[in-house]
Structure 1
Amino acid sequence: MANTQFDQFLEEATIAADDQSDTTLGRDGLYGLYTSWCFLHQSVPQPEDAFWAAMRKKHIKPERKGLRMKGPAAADYILASYPGLV
């Protein structure tokens, strides 16, 4: 099976959290990280409903499966979310 854009995003920009601490990504954060990842890869993000459908197929539910950010997309997302840091 071909590696989809969503598979590549999850591999490059997320890591499973060791626990369900408050540092895991929620719904807004996970989609925001995805859009940052797309920006860095110069690809068009899929609509939010398509993104969540793909995450459901992968059994990823931010409220239950804790994911953390990693990589360049994490830095881009943080800087875009908090412009006062620059």
Structure 2
Amino acid sequence: MADSQFDLFLHEATYADQVSDANLDRDRLYGLYTSWCCINAQPPGAESSFWAAMKHRFPQRRNGLRMKGPAAADYILASSPALV
């Protein structure tokens, strides 16, 4: 899988919050990625490829990311069915 899919995912589904201590943990970040793939009819890449790409983009544990867009709504609703 080309790294460009990961870049597009980050651009469309996340934003950097440098002011707060925002951080998407591993489960939420990968869940957001799979939601983004589903919404965009993209086959998700191997989880190991995803984490290698994220490690390259965010070498520190704190990534400073927040969710945005349709993938965020999909992920939130999928992970909290009581909201539906």
TM-score range, shorter chain: 0.7 to 0.9
- State the Cα distance separating 1:3 from its structure 2 match: 7.0
2:20 matched to 1:13? no
Spell out structure 1 runs of 4+ moving beyond 3 A.
none
Cα separation, 1, equivalents of 2:33 and 2:3:
16
Match for residue 66 of structure 2? 68
Number of matched residues? 82
Report sequence identity in percent. 60
Match for residue 27 of structure 1? 26
Cα separation, 2, equivalents of 1:3 and 1:57:
10
SS at match of 1:68: strand
The alignment's TM-score, normalised by the length of structure 2, stands at 0.88
Structure 1 unmatched ranges of 5 or more:
none
Q: When you count helix as a share of all residues, which structure comes out higher?
A: 2
SS at match of 1:53: helix
1:13-60 per-position Cα deviation (integer Å, ceiling 9, x unaligned): 000122214xx3100000000000000000111121110001112125
Cα separation, 2, equivalents of 1:69 and 1:3:
20
Structure 2 unmatched ranges of 5 or more:
none
Amino acid at match of 1:32: G
Q: Flag the 1:15–1:60 CA change in 2: closer, same or farther, 3 A.
A: farther
